[in-house]
Amino acid sequence: MGLFATRWSERKGVGYPAIGWQPTTNWNRVTTTGQYISEDKANTVAAWYAGIRRIAQDVSTLPLIVYRRVGRSKHRAMDHPLYRVLHDSPNPEMTSVVFRETLQAHVLAWGNGYAEKELDRGNRVKYLWPMRPDRMTVGYDQNGKRVYDYVMKPGAAPTRLSAERVFHIPGLGFDGLVGYSLLTLARETLAGILGLREYDNRVLANDARPGVILTHPETLSQLARENIEKSWEDRHGGFSKAGRMALLEEGMTVTALTLPRDDMLFIEDAKWQVAEIARWIGIAPHKIGDLERATFSNIEEQNIDHVSSTIQPWCTRWEQQINKDLLTEPDVFAEHLMDAALRGKTLERYQANALAVDKLALTPNEWRERENQNPVPWGDEPVRGPNNTAPEPVPAQEV
């Protein structure tokens, strides 16, 4: 049983803090605003959490297939032991989607994703167990080999794992040990956003500004003021009574208070925060809720751009790391099914497929498989004539 198989079994009976602890020797995130940026605190920034979640979900929900190359063709290697591990369930506690979503979120935030390889008696990968990057220290031993020291829980001594026992996906800036931690690089931006939010909340908590001011030319008694206030609230208070005509008597005037310039700046700051976080994570703003520049006419093209410029590079990183560290046979490789994610407009897609069938580049059944439809009996051969050409009738035999 591997290190993490033991860990998961212990969690069922005892349990221990799995979130919120970071070794202070490795994670110094105090910023110029005085904010201390941990992963848990960063996740309270809506745009940050939305960006991490969106990319992690989009990458993990793409089918990950193990293929075997035969000549110039490739076939699904469903008999390979890692097919099930990568496509279905990497360990008894997780589905493939949950496992890959977890590691992808780790790579995005911390710059590295780690999983322990649990090996069988033949020294082949049996299970993969995720590890938290904030508890990992990567270095070299006295022989110059890369080693991984992992702290199972706070206060415990680190457990050393060899490079052969760790599946490691590094992010940008890999120097042979680790990739850049985006959480560390973006901590000043996150601290500014959190500081503005805290300040804004304090202003709202102490805000005593009325929405309208009623002015009377005379000095009113306490009872008269209360009657006027009650009458105004009864007639104009609440959204359902908005827009009603107001009848003022005895020379009274009404002044409506609008948002001051400082409040308008808070609104602009909120827009800036989404755009700034999107730049850090590398995601289009419309994917995390900013639809200011998205329209019905271009949203589909923007979604396709999201797949090609954001999701596909991450999928390539996964595939190459899997092929390097998990699949040792030269004719076996892993690949994501990108067809569904890269689908364009329906008419354009059908026109392209029809052209491919007409040019003998696709068979009808290959087209139908792309569209997630069942094959037809006549669809395995190329169409060598117009699709509307009926087969010639068989001449009747003479009696």
Span 220-239, average pLDDT: 76
pLDDT of residue 172: 93
Closest among 362, 310, 374, 357 to 338, alpha carbons compared: 310
Which pLDDT tens digit goes with each residue over 301-348? 778 888 888 999 999 999 999 999 999 899 999 999 887 666 656 677
**Which pLDDT band holds residue 293 (cuts at 50, 70, 90)?**
low
Flag whether the pTM goes above 0.85: no
Whether 364 contacts 384, CB under 8 Å: no
Which residue has 């990739």 as its token pair? Answer: 179
Using CB atoms within 10 Å of the CB of residue 318, give its burial: 0 to 12 exposed, 13 to 18 middle, 19+ buried. Answer: buried
- The residue type of 247 is L
What are the CA-CA distances from residue 13 to residues 4, 7, 10, 16 (Å)? 15, 10, 6, 10
Dist. CA 148–CA 290, nearest whole Å: 40
Which pLDDT tens digit goes with each residue over 133-177? 999 999 998 888 999 999 988 888 999 999 999 999 999 999 889
Q: Which two tokens stand for residue 31?
A: 């910023």
What are the CA-CA distances from residue 4 to residues 84, 120, 161, 363 (Å)? 19, 14, 12, 47
Position 15 pLDDT exceeds 50: no
What pairs with residue 316 in β-bridges?
none
pLDDT of residue 241: 59
Angle at 153 between CA 148 and CA 157, to 5 degrees: 60
- The residue type of 74 is K
What SS3 state is found at 214?
strand
Whether 74 contacts 68, CB under 8 Å: yes
Quick one: CA dihedral 252, 257, 258, 262, positive or negative?
positive
Which pLDDT tens digit goes with each residue over 118-127? 999 888 899 9
What are the CA-CA distances from residue 108 to residues 9, 121, 398 (Å)? 28, 34, 77
Could you tell me the residue ranges of all domains in the chain? Answer: 210-256, 345-387
Dist. CA 269–CA 47, nearest whole Å: 13
DSSP state of 307: I
Whether 248 contacts 228, CB under 8 Å: no
Which pLDDT tens digit goes with each residue over 82-112? 999 999 999 999 999 999 999 999 999 999 9
Task: For residue 281, report the phi and psi dihedrals to the nearest 5 degrees.
Answer: -80, -25
What pairs with residue 68 in β-bridges?
75, 332
More confident: 26 or 80:
80
Dist. CA 110–CA 288, nearest whole Å: 20
Dist. CA 267–CA 189, nearest whole Å: 17
Q: Which two tokens stand for residue 11?
A: 């969690």
**Which pLDDT band holds residue 19 (cuts at 50, 70, 90)?**
very low
Name the least confident of 96-105, 106-115, 232-241, 369-378: 232-241
In 262-395 the beta strands, taken as DSSP E runs, fall at: 332-336
